[in-house]
């Protein structure tokens, strides 16, 4: 369950759905070899710093992650974490509105930001000799943000327009919101990251500043630097710019708990914007942090068996052999602070019936629960998960995103480095036990998306 809302160039926001578990699926497997072999240290003010040397090009990416997201908002203030993400570009006591982006661009860099339920992140990619510039800029807005109604209220309308374009005009997004609100009975993951429009329209300058002062502190952040650098280069800069910021008390993450679930739910949405009917079945699942033992790793292997491309069980059965679906698959991401979900999906072939496609998908789920997966399937899935391992180190943004997400959702550097060994240790028995524990009707929601003729 990784749903992110980000800020794109020109101050227009785009939805960014980052499947970081798919990135983890490409990590190297060399016995017990290190994955990224990062250099790690903590400043006196509590800021965690992770440095991942990558000498493939003379560039560097800086990412600062704050351990706060949409699930940490107070009731009635939905969208505040994402709104503050926008406002972090509106200027400080040193730099006016838009100056941050202008300076990054003038130095040949790229920058952006995103918000999820569990974190808020800001990043820049620049030439190696420009790292100090962006560290100075990012450290400045960690503590010196200046907001007034003159910049806050117009940006609030930008966010509302973003919601209208991304959700109001997109039936798939509308269905996702309804399913999320149904999957969670009480937990704040049921509220969209971007917020509900009527609550966004009431967000104020005072609320944004209070949220900023409550959560934006070095001892509640993780700094990840990847590229043509090492800790010997980064540490003095981090101490100079970030180390001067004093630590502050930060609230404990106290979120409403999820009660036991006893009834499966169903959501149907019809829209003239829908071309092909589709079905999604989503089950409440644990995350890496909340799973018992290595259950999350078993669920990841299960997802690869069921939905890992055109050779997976679901695609082969529903699309290739039975020809009852245009597409089919599954998904699971364990990188949430609290809960996650295991998802099945299928789209109907033109001229087909949604009832037939849903019935076929449920038959495959029932077969899985009755007969399980085989040792051969597990071995092949693990092989696929690690086959393209070498490419993970090539992409400069991969490592910072993996470490940032891990360290803001309860995992550690050691957990990331141990990922290949934990996947390798998964057995067929582990996968079957995880499937039977998670795929329970009473903790599921089914979403149906249907076309509706124009009247």
- Rounded CA separation 399/74 (Å): 32
Q: pLDDT at position 385, please? A: 82
Among residues 208, 241, 274, the one where a domain terminates is 241
Q: What is the mean pLDDT of residues 371-379?
A: 98
Q: Tell me, yes or no, whether 430 lies in a domain.
A: yes
In a domain, 253, yes or no: no
Domain enclosing residue 391, as ranges: 265-451
Give domain status of residue 250, yes or no.
Answer: no
- Does residue 376 sit within a domain? yes
Residues 195 and 274 in one domain: no
* Whether residue 433 sits in one domain with residue 293: yes
Question: In the chain, what percentage of residues exceed pLDDT 70?
Answer: 90
Instruction: State the pLDDT at residue 24.
Output: 45
pLDDT of residue 22: 41
Please tell me what DSSP assigns to residue 147: -
**Structure token digits, residue 4:** 């992110």
Which of 226, 241, 256 is the endpoint of a domain? 241
Boundary (domain end) residue, out of 189, 206, 241: 241
Q: Say whether both 274 and 129 belong to one domain.
A: no
- Give the DSSP letter string of 341-404: EEEEEEEEPTT--HHHHHHHHHHHHHHHHHH---HHHHHHHHHHHHHTGGGGGTSTTHHHHHHH
Active site residue 85: yes
| Structural domain total, the chain | 2
Contact by Cβ (8 Å): 186, 259: yes
Are residues 277 and 201 both part of a single domain?
no
pLDDT at 270 over 70: yes
Could you tell me if residue 257 is inside a domain? no
- In this structure, are residues 217 and 247 in contact, taking their beta carbons and an 8 Å threshold? yes
What is the helix (H) or strand (E) element at residue 434, kind and residue range? helix 428-438
The closest of 200, 182, 184, 176 to 13, measured between CA atoms, is 200
Q: Is residue 246 part of a domain?
A: no
CATH number at residue 175: 3.30.830.10
| pLDDT for position 35 | 75
Query: Do 209 and 315 lie in a common domain?
Result: no
> Percent of the chain having pLDDT more than 90?
85
Q: Tell me: do 215 and 304 sit in the same domain.
A: no
Tell me what the mean pLDDT of segment 229-252 comes to.
97
pLDDT at 14 over 50: no
* Residue 259, domain member (yes or no): no
Shared domain check, 288 and 221: no
Cα separation of 192 and 190, whole Å?
Answer: 7
Largest CA distance in the chain: 67
Per residue in 400-419, pLDDT tens? 999 999 999 999 999 998 88
The pLDDT assigned to 390 comes to: 52
Q: What is the pLDDT of residue 6?
A: 64
Chain-centre distance for alpha carbon 162: 19
Is there a single domain that holds both residue 349 and residue 205? no
Dihedral of CA 166/168/171/172: which sign? positive
Between the alpha carbon of residue 341 and those of residues 266, 282, 301, 334, 411, the distances in Å are 16, 6, 14, 8, 18
Claim to verify: residue 45 and residue 126 sit in the same structural domain: yes
pLDDT at 75 over 80: yes
Give the span between the Cα atoms of 107 and 135, in whole angstroms: 13
> Is the domain of 234 the same as that of 318?
no
> Angle at CA 257, nearest 5°, toward 252 and 263?
165
341-373 pLDDT tens trace: 999 999 999 999 999 999 999 999 999 999 999
3-state DSSP of 199-255: HHCCCCHHHHHHHHHHHCCHHHEEEEEEECCCHHHHHHHHHHHCCCCCCCCCCCCCC
DSSP symbol at 67:
S
Same domain, 288 and 422: yes
Inform me whether the pLDDT recorded for 323 exceeds 60.
Answer: yes
Active-site position among 85, 111, 138, 304 = 85
Mean pLDDT of the chain: 92
Rounded CA separation 231/131 (Å): 13
Specify whether 103 is located in the same domain as 12. Answer: yes
Assess if residue 251 is contained within a domain. no
């Amino acid at each position: 369950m990784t749903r992110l809302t980000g800020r794109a160039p020109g101050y227009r926001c785009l939805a960014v759905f980052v499947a970081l578990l798919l990135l983890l699926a490409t990590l190297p497997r060399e016995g017990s070899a290190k994955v990224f072999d990062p250099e790690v240290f903590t400043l006196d003010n509590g800021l965690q710093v992770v440095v991942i040397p990558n000498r493939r090009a003379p560039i560097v990416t800086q990412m600062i992650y704050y351990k706060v997201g949409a699930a940490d908002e107070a009731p009635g203030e939905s969208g505040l974490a994402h709104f503050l993400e926008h406002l972090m570009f509106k200027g400080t006591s040193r730099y006016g509105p838009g100056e941050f982006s202008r300076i990054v661009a003038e130095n040949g860099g790229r920058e952006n930001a995103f918000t999820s339920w569990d974190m808020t992140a800001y990043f820049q990619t620049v030439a190696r000799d420009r790292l100090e510039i962006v560290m100075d800029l990012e450290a400045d807005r960690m503590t010196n943000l200046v907001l007034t109604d003159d910049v806050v209220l117009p940006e609030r309308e930008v966010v509302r327009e973003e919601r209208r374009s991304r959700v109001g005009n997109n039936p798939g997004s509308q269905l996702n919101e309804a399913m999320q609100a149904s999957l969670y009975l009480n937990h704040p993951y049921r509220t969209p990251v971007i917020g509900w429009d009527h609550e966004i329209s009431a967000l104020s300058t005072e609320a944004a500043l209070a949220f900023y002062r409550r959560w934006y502190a070095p001892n509640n952040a993780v700094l990840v630097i990847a590229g043509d650098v090492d800790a010997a280069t980064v540490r003095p800069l981090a101490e100079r710019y970030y180390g001067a910021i004093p630590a502050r008390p930060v609230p404990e993450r106290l979120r409403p708990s999820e009660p036991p679930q006893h009834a499966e739910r169903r959501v149907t949405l019809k829209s003239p914007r829908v071309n092909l009917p589709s079905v999604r079945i989503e089950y409440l699942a644990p995350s890496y942090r909340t799973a018992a033992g290595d259950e999350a790793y078993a669920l990841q292997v299960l997802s690869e068996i069921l939905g890992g491309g055109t050779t997976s069980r679901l695609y082969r059965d529903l699309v290739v052999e039975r020809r009852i679906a245009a597409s089919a698959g599954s998904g699971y991401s364990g990188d949430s602070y609290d809960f996650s979900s295991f998802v099945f999906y299928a789209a109907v072939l033109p001229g087909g019936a949604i009832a037939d496609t849903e019935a076929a998908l449920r038959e495959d789920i029932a077969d899985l629960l009755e007969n399980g997966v085989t040792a051969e399937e597990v071995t092949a899935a693990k092989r696929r998960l690690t086959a393209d391992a070498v490419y993970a180190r090539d992409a400069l943004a991969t490592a910072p995103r993996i470490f940032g997400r891990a360290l803001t959702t309860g995992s550690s550097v050691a957990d990331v480095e141990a990922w290949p060994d934990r996947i390798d240790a998964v057995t067929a028995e582990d996968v079957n036990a995880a499937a039977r524990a998670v795929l329970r009707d009473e903790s599921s929601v089914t979403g149906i998306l249907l076309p509706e003729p124009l009247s």
